[in-house]
Amino acid sequence: MKNTVKSLSLLSLALVLGACGTSAPTASAPTGSAPTANRASILKTTPNTPTRWFVELAGDPTVLSVQSVSSQQATFRAQAAQQGIQYQEVRSYQTLFNGFSVQASEAEINRVSRLPGVLGVYPVREIAAPQVDVNLTDALTPDMFSAIKMTGADIAQNELGLTGKGIKVGVIDTGIDLDHPAFKGRVVAQYDFVGDDYNFGKPTKPDPIADDCGGHGSHVAGIVGGNDASKGFKGVAPEVSFGAYRVFGCEGSTSEDIMIAALEQAYKDGMQVVNLSIGSAFENWEGTPSAKVGSRMVKKGMVVVASAGNSGASGQYSMGGVTMGDNVISVASVSNTEIEVKSFTITPDGSKVAYFAASGAPEGKVGAAFPVTKLATSTPTTTNDGCLVGGVNPFAAGSLTGKAVLIRRGTCTFYEKAKNAQDAGASAVILYNNTAGYLSPTVAGATPITIPVVFSSAADGAKISGLIAGGVTMTFNSGTINIPSPTANTLDSYSSYGLSADLELKPDIAAPGGNIRSAYPLEKGNGGYATLSGTSMASPHVAGAAALMLQAFPNTKAKDMRGLLMNSATLRWYRAASGTLFTGLPDYVQRQGAGMVDIVGSYNSTVRATPNKLSLGESASFATRSKVVVLQNTWTRTETFKAYHYPALTVGGTTLAPTPSQAYATMTINGQDADKADVDVTVPAGGETELNVVITPPAAAPDKAQYGGYIVLEGSQGRNLVIPYAGFKGDYQSIQALGNLTISGTSYNFPALFDDKEDVFFEEGQVVTTPIDYTFKDVALDPAKPTELTKDAPYVLAQLSHQVRKMTMELLDANGAVVDTLLKQEYLGRNCTNNIAQTSSTCDAYNTYAWDGKLSNGTNAANGTYQLRLKALKAQGDESVASDTEVYTTQKFIVARP
């Protein structure tokens, strides 16, 4: 990591960005000005407000006695009963969380929040089953490909003798296949919280054993420490013991309160390391119940490792869950150096061509052979190969009968190319890339594609194109082959971005997560192994590494494990969306943390850095940021280093569309310019040395950008350290929290008041001429479905463009005076998107805040004229500063109960 290499790579990037532009222009959609009909076809407006909540009582259970916690909880129950508050207790917690999960309406939970001793109330979040790509095959002997070589786990096992023996690792997931040879006899604790048929909202029916019918947990456990001698398979720490904690059914989601119950059980069972390859995207606060429990587990001596999340496509601030806890090790995903793919053979040379099968088309039949042809105009530079020309199919009718056709990517959709080929009688389609790398194309369309469609690399496509004149045949092969990954050793695009909502540097570290082969339930009929991708696969690499370090250094404190692994990590270079790799240029700190975990580097490390990372906050309040890093030498020999500043890319653009910027902070170390020359640092044997670090935020960085980089110390003995830092450029509270919502291509001024009965919504500031009234009666919105009822009640839809520290909803009278506080929620996550067209089961665009017509004391509000007012305190905002709170007030409406 020398500065000369770095400067060359930055120059290369400057040329590329200068040619391409650093951001794409965005069109401004018109703002709607009238109530919108056809509500049901555009938005789901039935109130989706939470019904299950966490109630947190004051007092940290890790410092209070069991008797004190029990007494507090008994007092809460008595007070709630005395005031007639209606709720149902679901779970109680006394070990890592002081409180309950309860079933209650918003009105009742608001009454709960006002009871003495209640610290806060929070919605219990639905946690979706981790989304991963699964490739089921047993054609190859599984060995996690090259993943264990990427982290140095192979050297740790074979040369250092580290196997994780004696260390207990808890896996909170879908369970572990107890009959799998990779785990047989090594699961020493287990607990099923849910049962096979569980899904979020359904009753739990726990089984006696925490067996795995989903598959994800077995795969994760296999990476941590699976060991199957019959297949030659070893995970990172192949002699650990396991705790299996099942929080998912065979399919579907789980809930946050179940996951916290599993965390408490893992603690009670004496697990030394816990892995959570699950999370809650966008809930990226350290103060949420899940993150707080994770922090307390570390405080109680357990190493907690959690995936950073797979929401990278949704932009910045997209992490969430336990991974945000203090000293919890948050793990990003790096692509494996090899990938496992299907292939076909071409003649005359008999070489195998790797491909990805297109979704929406059938698989190629093994052994099926077809002569390959192409359009006469097709070359490896053709931009519109296979596309309609003036609305006409470029392939003559019947010209492709019994043949496979080669088509280059570009201009029109993959579906159009495949359909044109199919209409001309083709038996198969070979698409090939027009840039580096591979894709998994989709060819689903109005007319089904009934022939195999495969996607190959640009190089293979060009090769086949050149052979066609002499005659080429392609034959579909069985099994799979390994090929070098085009994204090897770089951050996977799905890996989530930090920072946290509190501007803490997250994630902490990275590990292999893309295309990892590991154990899978035997009942799946795939030979017991599968290839999956996701940060779910990265986290257990680090959990396994922590187990190895605990075996080697059993006195390592849980809170120090993160630093031991982070500060010996190695940086990953930036790979642009085009596939171009910029060697020597670190990817965003906000995506890779300290870099790739290096197990051998951690084992050999003799100098510890405190703190192990630097979170600088917002730059609006300071011209420079001064930090002190203490280096402690645990060795009996003096260590000397060359220290310098190594900036990483700055995250520019917007929250939803990040773009790279080359504006960098500057740094001095011990008063010397660390950007222009190395700084000599000596740490005496068994002693300490301070680094006085002064970082100046990048003046040229875009407003609201996230910058970062590294203090790098290159040791004379080959033992290097890296200390990451990150900060926010500008005024953090200038980020808009309550944003607009795009519906059918039009941007509407949100938040908005909804009237289901009249099938209209009213934008912020919209003038209303006809009075809005609510009866709070059950009404049928669709005359054709008279039994499907909803309450004629007001509710507000709010698009959260950024995390909100506290959301309050007040009821105002006709004069604007506060009648009551109806709702108070804390630590809200942002929405995944601001466009309804981009929503899915795991990506929402707005939150719903409903009013049931009752006051917080449980009585009905009198008939009359009212308004609702939302108050959103911004992240790190100060309630005493008016500009730190965004306020939205609805139009006046009438409560008109009959």
Which positions are catalytic?
A: 173, 216, 536
C-alpha 437/C-alpha 111 separation (Å) is 56
Residue 276 near residue 291, CB atoms below 8 Å = no
Q: To which H or E segment does residue 565 belong?
A: helix 558-566
Residue with tokens 């496992």: 340
> Phi first, then psi: what are they for 810, rounded to 5°?
-115, 150
Between CA 716 and CA 639 the distance in angstroms is 7
Question: DSSP strand E in 247-388: where?
Answer: 254-255, 273-276, 303-307, 329-335, 338-347, 352-357, 369-373
Alpha-carbon distance of 464 to 481, in angstroms, equals 19
Alpha carbon separation from 515 to 133, 581, 647 (Å, rounded): 8, 19, 29
The dihedral sign for the CA sequence 262, 313, 534, 545: negative
β-strand pairing of 818-828 with 804-813: antiparallel
Q: Which tokens hold the place of 318?
A: 């997209």
Q: Which amino acid is at 574?
A: Y
Cβ count near 79 (within 10 Å): 15
Class of residue 416 by CB neighbours under 10 A (exposed 0-12, middle 13-18, buried 19+): middle
Burial 710-725 (b: 16+ CB within 10 A, else e): bbbbbbeeebbbbbbb
Cβ neighbours for 346, distance < 8 A, ≥ 6 positions apart: 353, 372, 464, 467, 472, 473, 474, 475
Q: Which residue's entry shows tokens 């492709």?
A: 400
What is the length of the chain?
898
Distance CA 288, CA 500 (A): 12
Question: DSSP state, 145?
Answer: T
Pairing, β 273-276 against β 303-307: parallel
Residue 444 has a CB neighbour count (10 Å cut-off) of: 13
- What is the gyration radius of the CA atoms in the chain, in angstroms? 29
Per the rule left: phi > 0, alpha: psi between -120 and 50, beta: everything else, 166 is left
d(CA 543, CA 160): 18
- Distance CA(501)–CA(481), nearest Å, equals 43
Per DSSP, the chain holds a count of helices (H) and strands (E) of: 15, 55
Cβ–Cβ < 8 Å for 416, 486: no
Place of tokens 């009237």: 755
144 in Cβ contact with 588 (< 8 Å): no
CB atoms near residue 230 (< 10 Å): 9
Residues 476, 568 contacting (CB under 8 angstroms): no
Report the distance separating Cα 432 and Cα 405, nearest Å. 11
| Strand 581-586 to 573-575 pairing | antiparallel
Of 719, 640, 642, 637, the residue nearest 686 (C-alpha): 637
List C-alpha distances in Å: 473 to 385, 401, 460. 20, 14, 14
Tokens linked to 507: 């994630």
Contact by Cβ (8 Å): 500, 508 = no
How far, in Å, CA of 793 to CA of 233, rounded? Answer: 59
Terminal CA-CA length for the chain:
75
